[in-house]
Amino acid sequence: MSNNTSIRRHTITALVDNEPGVLARVVGLISGRGYNIESLNVGTTQDPTISRITMQVPGDDRVLEQVTKQLNKQVDVISVTDLTRESFLNRECILIKIASTRKNRSKIIELTDVFEGKVVSAQNKFMVIQLVGEQQHVADFMELVKPFQILDVSRSGVIAMGKE
C-alpha cells in the first residue's frame, strides 16, 4: 500500500434523507474511527425530504476515502462528495460577542467594517458582531479581535458547494 498518505482537513458534503437517525449514522461512522468533526452543518435542500450535511474532518486521505465510501454505502445517504479533491466555495457565519468600552468601541467597529461584518447588538459592556465569509476570512477576523476579549462565539459551521 502506498505510504504517501497525508493528514489534512477534508470538507465532506453529503445529501441524505431528511429522517431521524441519519445524522447519528453519518457522525457515528466518523467518530467510530476516533476522528473529530471540527465543523458540522445540517439543513434541508430545495427538496424538503433531502438534507445536506457538510462537515470538516482532519484526517488521513486514505482513511477518509474509505469513510466516504462507507458513507455512500448507507441506505439513507444519497450521495457523498469529498470536496477537498476539487475547487469549491466555502462560507461560514459567526456571531461573536466582544467585550467593549467607550474607548475601544470605534476600533472594533472599524475592524468589523473592514471585514464587511455587521454590529447586530451593542450594549454597555459588549457588542455582538455578525460576520459571513470564507473560513479563512472569519478566522482572520477572530484573530484580530482576540485582544479585545472575546466573551462568546457561535459558529454556523462551514457550508460548502463544489464550483462545477
Partner 1 sequence: MRSGAKCTIDALKDAGVKTLFGLPGGTVLDLFDELARAPLEFFLVRHEQGATHMADGYARATGKPGCCIVTSGPGATNAVTGLATANMDGIPVVCIAGQVPSHMIGNDAFQEADTVGITRAVTKHNYLVKNADDLPRIIAEAFEIATTGRPGPVLVDIPKDVQRQMTSATFSGKPERRGYSPVYEGNSKQIAKLAAAINTSRKPVILAGAGVIAAGASTELITLARKAKIPVTTTLLGLGSFPDTDPLALRMPGMHGSVAANRAISNCDLLISVGARFDDRVTGKVSEFAPNAIIAHIDIDPSAIAKSVRVDIPVIGHAKAILKELIPQVVTQARKEWLAQVHGWQKEAPFTYDTKEPRILAQYAIEQIYEVTKGDAIITTDVGQHQMWAAHFFKYTKPRSFISSGGLGTMGFGLPAAIGAKAGCRDRNVIAISGDGSIQMNFQELVVAVEHDLPIVVVIMNNGYLGMVRQWQEMFYKKEYSAVRLDQNLRARNEKLRDKPPGYLPDFVKMAEAHGAAGLRVTEKREVAPALRKALAMKRPVVIECITKPDDNVYPMVPPGASLSEMVQGLA
Residue numbers of the site for partner 1 (CB under 8 A)?
1-2, 16-17, 20-21, 24-25, 28, 32, 66, 69-70, 72-79
From the CB of 128, what's the least distance to partner 1, in Å?
Answer: 34
Q: Smallest Cα–Cα separation from 98: which of 41, 54, 148, 47?
A: 148
Nearest CB to partner 1, comparing residues 29 and 55: 29
Nearest CB to partner 1, comparing residues 2 and 87: 2
Nearest CB to partner 1, comparing residues 38 and 65: 65
From the CB of 126, what's the least distance to partner 1, in Å?
Answer: 37
Extended strands (E) in the chain: 7-17, 39-44, 50-60, 77-82, 88-99, 118-122, 126-133, 150-155, 159-162
The Cα 55–Cα 31 span in angstroms is: 12
From the CB of 34, what's the least distance to partner 1, in Å?
Answer: 14
- Give the burial class of 105: count Cβ atoms within 10 A of its Cβ; 0-12 exposed, 13-18 middle, 19 or more buried: middle
From the CB of 41, what's the least distance to partner 1, in Å?
Answer: 20
Nearest CB to partner 1, comparing residues 60 and 76: 76
Joined grid coordinates for residue 9: 482537513
